[in-house]
Structure 1
């Protein structure tokens, strides 16, 4: 019996510690566990870019020594002329300085104020944008993200796709960037056309970068972000060999990151900038060797980039390198269609092995019922059915424990001051009555990974964002605005407590009575979808436990 209590207290203590740690991180305080989910370790100094704004050429098998020359970032991006490119789901603003994409709005993803989410921004308080350009081993500056570009052509191509072509020329090298949007797509096709008009015997390198400050994402609603600080925000890289690797901003500050600095020709690879619900990523072609780098370029300003060697471009020669830029939500079904490993942008944490099938099942249920709230309820019923045999055995064990409760109290009085004899008498009674004192713990312990996995599913799934259920629940991804679900959950936990056998220790009995109140307060800050799952689970558990108790009807102590 004492061992059972120890396990339960360990479970409750660990759950409380995890919840308190999430709250600490949300309040901007350091994690109790020292850092967050991250696959980073130590930095590989080879090929690490310097802290200058324009990247240097990295050392690769086909490239020579690095060039230390650089240009400072252009200072007039905010005031520069901008060109708009848009489709149904994406509105881009391309700056004449560098032909950088400095603004990206998502009309289908709305804020609490019913305005499009602004993913890319270039403002005095927040910088997050995509850029590209050319560098070389020689001294001449080539068109890069600081150059002035001219709009050469815009409109719709023969397929009806909106496009814009911007051009810049420096030291005899011309760079044309063509931006093309497909209907209903968050992926931008970007073509870099390099024309050599002068004599340049040095190899040219194309770089593509994502630049972002180290701040957590902007809150999109009054409650949005309440627990999103626990999700990862920062650069990430995927390669066929190393798979998915996240790079913490703090790790970049301390030069404690590991990234695959070179990707072999033919191997898929991409770089990304990730935040809660949304991401951006450069996906270059994979026909040539590519170099990956990350670093800090200014105070609280970071980048992750990829370099693609174009080789020596002879006078009159034209080289075209195509890439894709994703700017959008982390919708799992969408990500899976874009590039190898792209679905990893939606991060479920350490319990991915459970979270992915849970989301798959939830998504398939939603395909039939068309409402995420009812989908969560049906998912809860299915999970309860899976655990039914285990739960039934547990509730039977608890019902038997309640049956023998008067005998336990008599034993406690009989062997008062003799704990060893008390334990022997209790074990003997359990053996004769065929009661497992740990039987009631197992379902609680087993359901905790499922509960945490569902927590990450609801926390990470942009599909749940702005998803209504019924009446006052207009968004399952944020807390219940009127705290009705947490109150119902507290009531259901109280009923469960009354159905369970009362602990013989008066102090423990009081703690178990207060436990529903403590948990309901914590659940005030949880997404409504998660509380809905727990409420339905509790109601089903109460019905199941009541029915089992009825089987012991006349024997049970009221």
Structure 2
């Protein structure tokens, strides 16, 4: 019985820790549990509005570089001309100053007021954009993300794809950037064409960066989302060797990050900025070695980037280096098709091994049902069938416990004030009656990892965003607006408690009585899809437990 108490207190403790963790995050403080973090190869970089000489990581060829990377505040992106590039899912604005992607609207992902989600932005309130350019050793003046680019050509290429080509020439080196969009794709093909016109005679390096402030998405839920679930927002990097690394903004501030800096030629690698449901990422070609770096470049402004050394380019020679820029939703099947490891942008946390097959099953059910709410219900039934033998054994154990409840009460009176003798008598009775007092806890303990995995599936899946079920549930990814499902869940848990045998320990009995209230309060802030799963699971459990109790009742009557 002591072990049973331990399980109950563990459940309460974990629930309390989860609530406290979400409160910390909502209050702008570091979370209790952080993912892997990483260190910038540009350690020691300070905020500066001038053009500082910034120490950059040693190139993949082993040559240390000290490149002049202009500050983000040089030039005026807001006042420069903008060139539009659009397909049926993505609308981009590319600035003449730097040829940076400074605005990106996801045309099929809508906000609460029906407008397209504006993922990339450059305005006084929010800065989030993608940039690229050339650097070299010393103070070489090369085309970079602050140079003025002129429109060379726009329209459709020979394949009918929309494109924009911008060019800038500085220090005898010309850089042409061509952005090409494929219909239905969130991936922009970006070509960097470098022409050496007799300028610097030192190794050139192409850099591709994503820059963002540390602002968080608006929390959904009561109390300004103070108890809403928190997802990761910040830079991330992937390499074949180190896999997926997340970088917390707070850790970058403290210069306590470490990421793999050198990527050999032929190995896939990419850098990204991640937020709830959406991400942007540079995916350079893997034909050359690359370097990854990250850091803080100004007050509340951070970057993650990748350098590709182009070597010394002879006069009159043209070198073209291609990269892909992804700006879009974290749709799992789409991410898997883009590049190795890209599906990791959709972060399920430490239970990915369970969460991925759960999402796979849920997605396959949805292909037949066409509604995510009914898909969750069918998934719950399937999970219940998988656990049916275990649950049946558990409910039989609880029914047996209920059967011997009068004898337990009598023992308690008989050995009042003698807890050791009471415990011995109870254990002897359990042995003779072949009852496992812990049998009722086992299904709950085993289902906790499944529950947490499903929680992250529903929380992380952009597929659930704005997905309706029936009537008042018009978005399964946010809490029930009228709290009907949490109330139903509380009632179902209360019914389950009444079907279970009353614990002999008064404290334990009170804990079991108040547990439905505690859980219902917690579920007020959980996504409606998750509460729907738990309600259906409880209904099925009640039906199963009632039937087993009925069978044992007839047995006792005989």
TM-score for both structures, normalised by structure 1? 0.95
How many angstroms apart in 1 are the aligned matches of 2:214 and 2:303?
A: 10
Partner of 2:59: 60
**Alpha-carbon contact 2:173-2:197 (below 8 Å) kept:** yes
Q: CA deviation at 1:314?
A: 1.5
CA deviation map 1:348-399 (0-9, x unaligned):
0011111111001101111111110000000000100111111001101111
How many angstroms apart in 2 are the aligned matches of 1:153 and 1:105?
A: 23
CA deviation map 1:457-486 (0-9, x unaligned):
001000100000011100000000011100
Q: CA deviation at 1:421?
A: 0.9
Partner of 1:267: 267
CA deviation map 1:87-118 (0-9, x unaligned):
01101010111000010100100111111101
Q: CA deviation at 1:212?
A: 0.6
**Alpha-carbon contact 1:216-1:229 (below 8 Å) kept:** no
Equivalence map 1:287-306=2 (5 Å): 287-306=287-306
How many angstroms apart in 2 are the aligned matches of 1:396 and 1:357?
A: 30
Q: CA deviation at 1:530?
A: 0.1
How many angstroms apart in 1 are the aligned matches of 2:179 and 2:481?
A: 42
Equivalence map 1:194-273=2 (5 Å): 194-218=194-218, 230-273=230-273
Q: CA deviation at 1:505?
A: 3.1
Partner of 2:143: 143
Q: CA deviation at 1:11?
A: 2.5
Partner of 1:330: 330
Equivalence map 1:145-544=2 (5 Å): 145-218=145-218, 230-544=230-544
How many angstroms apart in 2 are the aligned matches of 1:204 and 1:65?
A: 12
Q: CA deviation at 1:163?
A: 0.5
CA gap 1:26/1:71 in 2 versus in 1, 3 angstroms:
closer
Q: Report the more deviating stretch, 9-18 or 539-548.
A: 9-18
Instruction: Confirm whether residue 131 of structure 1 aligns to residue 131 of structure 2.
Output: yes
**Alpha-carbon contact 1:25-1:229 (below 8 Å) kept:** no
**Alpha-carbon contact 1:205-1:307 (below 8 Å) kept:** yes
SS in 2 for 1:230: coil
How many angstroms apart in 2 are the aligned matches of 1:14 and 1:289?
A: 45
Partner of 1:71: 70
Partner of 1:81: 81
**Alpha-carbon contact 1:135-1:204 (below 8 Å) kept:** yes
Q: How many pairs does the alignment contain?
A: 552
Q: CA deviation at 1:30?
A: 3.9
How many angstroms apart in 2 are the aligned matches of 1:10 and 1:407?
A: 29
**Alpha-carbon contact 2:22-2:226 (below 8 Å) kept:** no
Partner of 1:8: 8
Q: CA deviation at 1:8?
A: 2.4
Q: CA deviation at 1:24?
A: 3.3
Q: Report the more deviating stretch, 231-240 or 209-218.
A: 209-218
SS in 2 for 1:315: coil
Quote the RMSD (CA, aligned, Å).
2.1
Q: CA deviation at 1:67?
A: 2.8
How many angstroms apart in 2 are the aligned matches of 1:425 and 1:405?
A: 14
Instruction: Confirm whether residue 545 of structure 1 aligns to residue 542 of structure 2.
Output: no
CA gap 1:94/1:221 in 2 versus in 1, 3 angstroms:
farther
Q: Is there any run of 5+ residues in structure 2 with no aligned partner, and where?
A: none
How many angstroms apart in 1 are the aligned matches of 2:413 and 2:285?
A: 78
How many angstroms apart in 1 are the aligned matches of 2:209 and 2:200?
A: 24
SS in 2 for 1:134: strand
How many angstroms apart in 2 are the aligned matches of 1:420 and 1:63?
A: 72
Q: CA deviation at 1:224?
A: 10
Q: CA deviation at 1:226?
A: 6.6
Instruction: Confirm whether residue 40 of structure 1 aligns to residue 57 of structure 2.
Output: no
**Alpha-carbon contact 2:71-2:297 (below 8 Å) kept:** no
**Alpha-carbon contact 1:223-1:479 (below 8 Å) kept:** no
Q: CA deviation at 1:61?
A: 5.4
CA gap 1:251/1:431 in 2 versus in 1, 3 angstroms:
same
**Alpha-carbon contact 1:347-1:460 (below 8 Å) kept:** yes
Q: Is there any run of 5+ residues in structure 1 with no aligned partner, and where?
A: none
Q: CA deviation at 1:120?
A: 0.3
